[in-house]
Amino acid sequence: MSAIPAAADVLAPEIEVLGLAEVAERLGQPVNRVHQLLRDGQLLAERRDGVLVVPADFVAAGNVVKGLPGTITVLRDSGFSTEEMLRWLFTEDDTLPGSPIEALRGDRGREVKRRAQAMAF
């Protein structure tokens, strides 16, 4: 079994995070499924005070936020590290407006993915 990839604690402390058991509960899945989502790049995690956590904004209505897995794939294919992806997803962008994760949650995934693809060039 491969290790679960996780970033260092890179997000602002005010960003709400969830332990893996709580992510599993919100998704209605076993915690092993959350581990698999992290290994498969469908979700991102960081370590806060040594504990593996997922940003709460990554989960909505019992699912992983629509467009997040595809955006993660585009960023990873562009050479972004997990730390860089987390920072980018939570960095305010006046042209969106808001952060990329806010745009994904607001069903503006096409624009977020377009920006992620443009950063590769």
**Can you give 45-67 as a three-state secondary structure string?**
CEEECCEEEEEHHHEECCEECCC
Burial 21-51 (b: 16+ CB within 10 A, else e): ebbbbbbeeeeeebbebbeeebbbbbebeee
**Residues 44, 82 contacting (CB under 8 angstroms):** yes
* pTM exceeding the 0.85 threshold for the entire prediction: yes
Question: Quick one: pLDDT band at residue 1, thresholds 50, 70, 90?
Answer: very low
Structure tokens at 113: 């993915």
Q: How many CB atoms sit inside 10 A of residue 92's CB?
A: 10
Interval 85-89 mean pLDDT: 97
- Give Cα 41 to chain centroid, integer Å: 9
Report pLDDT digits (tens) over 2-27.
Answer: 689 899 999 999 999 999 999 999 99
- Give Cα 119 to chain centroid, integer Å: 17
The pLDDT value recorded for residue 83 is: 96
Question: Quick one: pLDDT band at residue 33, thresholds 50, 70, 90?
Answer: very high
